[in-house]
Every structure is written in C-alpha cells, then in structure tokens.
Amino acid sequence: MSNPVIPNGSLALTKKDFESDQEVRWCPGCGDYSILAQTQRTLPNLNIPKEKYVFVSGIGCSSRFPYYMNTYGFHSIHGRAPAIASGIKCVNPDLSVWVITGDGDGLSIGGNHLIHTLRRNLDIKVILFNNRIYGLTKGQYSPTSEFGKITKSSPFGTVDHPFNPIRVAIGAGATFVARTLDRDPAHMQETIKRAAEHKGVAFVEVFQNCNIFNDGAWFKYTEKDTKPDNVVYLEHGKPLIFGAQKDKGIRLNGFRPEVVSISNGKYTKDDLLVHNENDHDATYAFILSHMIDNPALPVPVGVFRAVQDMTYEDALNQQIEQVKQKYGKPDLQALLESGDTWEVK
C-alpha cells in the first residue's frame, strides 16, 4: 500500500519525461542545475509511475525546483514544505513525496518542521541544497554560514554559530542521512537512488555552489586538486580511506577520529574505522558528522546512516485498520445517535 514501486518491468521513462516546459531560471553556473539534472536522470530508473511523484518546496532559489520537474509539484511558502508533504503522505502513502529545500528554508524559518518530519519518520525524501548563503534575497548569511562570515547583512562578520545539517538530521532521529556534492554527478545519482529506495524519511545534504553570492564555498571538497585529501567517501562495510594516493585512513582514538597513514608501516587497513551505516545506535554517525568541524579531518560524503523503523504513515494506517476491526463498519447515523439519547414524542 505504501510502496509506489512497480515490481516488474520498466516503465520506459526517460530523463525527458521529467523535464517540464518551463524555462529554468537559475543563474548560469549555479549548482542547482546539476541537482535538477541528476534527479531527472535518476527518477526514470526507479520504476515509479511519473504521476506518483510529488515535489514540494518552500521558498528560495532551490525551491523553484518543482516548476522544472514534469511531475506533480507544489511551490509553497517559506519553510513549510515538510509540513505540507506530511499532509500529502498521510492521506496518500502511495505517492513518492519529495521535499526540496535550502539551508535557509529548511534550517532557519522551517527548522521546526524539518526536525519533526525527520523524527516522525514519514516516508518523505528531503533534499537540502546547502550553499551557506541566502541567494534569492541577494546575499545575506544563512544558518550554515561559517562564523565570522562577511555578507551583506554582516559587514563586520557574523557572530552566529552555524548549524551542521547532518548533525541536526541525526539528532532528530532521521533513519536515512546522506551527503553528496553538486560536482559529483554519479555519486549524486546514486545517493538520490538510495534515498528513494529507503523506506522512511531520507535526508540528503547537497554541497551546492552559489556562484554569485558565495562562490567556491565548497571548492575544497569538490575540485579535483583539493578534493582527494579533503573528502572521504563512505562505503558500507569498507574502511575509511582517502587521499590522492589512497594512503590515508581514519582511525578511532577513543571517541575521536584521527587521520593516519597506511603507507608508512605503522598502521594497516585493519586499524581503520569500517563504515557501518546500519547501526541503530547513532553514536558512530554522530562521530562522522563532527568531522567537518575539524579542519584536520576530511569531510565524509555518502550515506551516514540507513536504518529501518516504522514509518509514521504505516503506523497511522495500521492503527486505522485495527480500530476498524475493533468497531466494525462505520455507521454515521449510529455515531450521531451515540451517547445519552432520549425520545420526545
């Protein structure tokens, strides 16, 4: 009932089927183009009929996304997309419901809805475009902007400590949490696919470049010169190895991750942390989430956490079925006449 996937055969959909007739109006060079393209490339392979997709967004550059998808789409109000998506999923679990949001929309004005949607574990896919800036309002700092950042609304530097979106999601109890990069199409497609196939809420942070107001915010992690030494890809069951020569790894020293060399003979692969995305205990995922805050460590990219739990809509519908079994077929007339009644003759 809650699985929109068609079991057998392909629906023969292509990327073209997911392109709407609307002219895309993001700034040339914006990272959003890549996210749109990777989504349009991935969706045809999920075996979900096109009419079952619903994209819901809030306000901001990212939130124009639904207009460009030839699916059902709802461009709503600032921060509220998770709440609207929750209503949709509650009454029609058969739909594949996606929330497109940004760092301002999802973590500032809509922070409350985001955490509660994550904790409820509705089977909704949340893609958060993180460019660490307010783009549509032309360049103010966002809740993910680094401390001290100089922007239009912080000419002397921000005095705000930023949110770490992955940590927020894990803290809120999200059952699927991942990070991907606008400049790594293959990884993004894989991540979107994994999110779609996860049964339960999925939270995906995308490092997205705003080339107008915050150009290069993530270049350290996305450009080929610097990326190998600053990014560690997470693969389930495999040790955390990175570096241009694949000669560095992450080892746990107590609760703290540290970078060790596996080429100088002191440590081998066997000493390294082996990635496990299925641990219900979120401690390990939290450790990974902190790595971005430590400049001595690479930033993990990939699936931090993928665990199974009862979804909200399944619990809701199961309860309805149980109560139906208990009380039988609903009878409106009997309901209106329930309680103390009396006849006037």
Partner 1 sequence: MSKPVENLKDVTIRFAGDSGDGMQLVGSELANTSAILGNDIGILPDFPAEIRAPAGTLPGVSGYQLHISSYDIHTPGEKYDALVAMNPAALKMNLENLKPNGLLIVNSEAFKERNLQLAHYKSNPLEDGSLDKYQLVEVDITGLTRKALEELNMSAKVVDRCKNFFALGMVFWLYNRSMDHAIGFIKDKFGKKAELVEANLRALKAGYAYCEATEQFVTSYEVKPAKLPPGKYRSLSGNDGVALGLIAASQKSGLPLFYGSYPITPASDILHELSKYKHFGVRTFQAEDEIAAVCAAIGAAYAGALGTTGTSGPGLALKMEAIGLAVSVELPVVICDIQRAGPSTGMPTKTEQADLLQAILGRNSEAPVPVIAASRPSDCFETIYEACRIAIKYMTPVIFLSDGYLANGAEPWPVPDVNSLPEIPVRFAKDPESFAPFLRDEQTLARPWAIPGTPGLEHRIGGLEKEAVTGNVSYDPRNHEYMVNMRAKKVQQIAQDIPPIEIDGASKGELLVVGWGSTLGAIKTAVERKQQQGKSVSRIHLRYVNPLPRDLEKVLRNFKKVLIPELNLGQLVKIIRANYLVPAIGYSKVQGQPFMSSEIEQKIDELLEK
Chain residues 217-256 in contact with partner 1, contact rule CB under 8 A: none
Span near partner 1 by CB under 8 A; candidates 38-46, 81-89, 239-247, 293-301: 81-89
- Three-state helix/strand/coil letters over 133-193: CECCCCCECCCCCCCCCCECCECCCCCCCCCCHHHHHHHCCCCEEEEEECCCHHHHHHHHH
Give yes or no for residue 180 binding partner 1 (CB under 8 A): no
279/295 Cα distance (integer angstroms): 26
Whichever of 99 and 297 has its CB closer to partner 1, that residue is 99
The 110-129 contact track toward partner 1, x by CB under 8 A, reads --xx--x-------------
Give yes or no for residue 10 binding partner 1 (CB under 8 A): no
User: Whose structure tokens read 């000419």?
Assistant: 155
Span near partner 1 by CB under 8 A; candidates 135-143, 167-175, 194-202, 334-342: 334-342
330/32 Cα distance (integer angstroms): 49
150/211 Cα distance (integer angstroms): 16
128 closest CA partner among 138, 139, 142, 141: 142
219 closest CA partner among 244, 184, 188: 184
Give yes or no for residue 332 binding partner 1 (CB under 8 A): yes
Give yes or no for residue 66 binding partner 1 (CB under 8 A): yes
Give yes or no for residue 283 binding partner 1 (CB under 8 A): no
Q: How far is the CB of 85 from partner 1 (least distance, A)?
A: 6
Q: How far is the CB of 195 from partner 1 (least distance, A)?
A: 19
Strand partners, 247: none
Give yes or no for residue 15 binding partner 1 (CB under 8 A): no
Binding-site size, partner 1 (CB under 8 A): 58
Span near partner 1 by CB under 8 A; candidates 36-44, 145-153, 235-243, 329-337: 329-337
50/125 Cα distance (integer angstroms): 16
- Rounded to the nearest 5°, which phi and psi values hold at 117? -70, -40
Span near partner 1 by CB under 8 A; candidates 83-91, 151-159, 227-235, 243-251: 83-91
- Alpha-carbon distances, residue 290 vs 163, 257, 281, 297, 300 (angstroms): 11, 9, 16, 10, 10
Span near partner 1 by CB under 8 A; candidates 31-39, 77-85, 236-244, 286-294: 77-85
What 3-state class would DSSP assign to 57? strand
44/338 Cα distance (integer angstroms): 51
Whichever of 244 and 320 has its CB closer to partner 1, that residue is 320
- Distance, first Cα to last Cα, the chain: 50
93/77 Cα distance (integer angstroms): 23
94/82 Cα distance (integer angstroms): 17
Give yes or no for residue 6 binding partner 1 (CB under 8 A): no
Give yes or no for residue 11 binding partner 1 (CB under 8 A): no
Give yes or no for residue 287 binding partner 1 (CB under 8 A): no
Whichever of 94 and 225 has its CB closer to partner 1, that residue is 94
Span near partner 1 by CB under 8 A; candidates 5-13, 188-196, 257-265, 331-339: 331-339
User: Which residues of the chain form contacts with partner 1 (CB under 8 A)?
Assistant: 20, 22, 49-54, 56, 66-67, 69-77, 80, 83-92, 94-95, 112-113, 116, 316, 319-320, 323-324, 326-328, 330, 332-333, 335-345
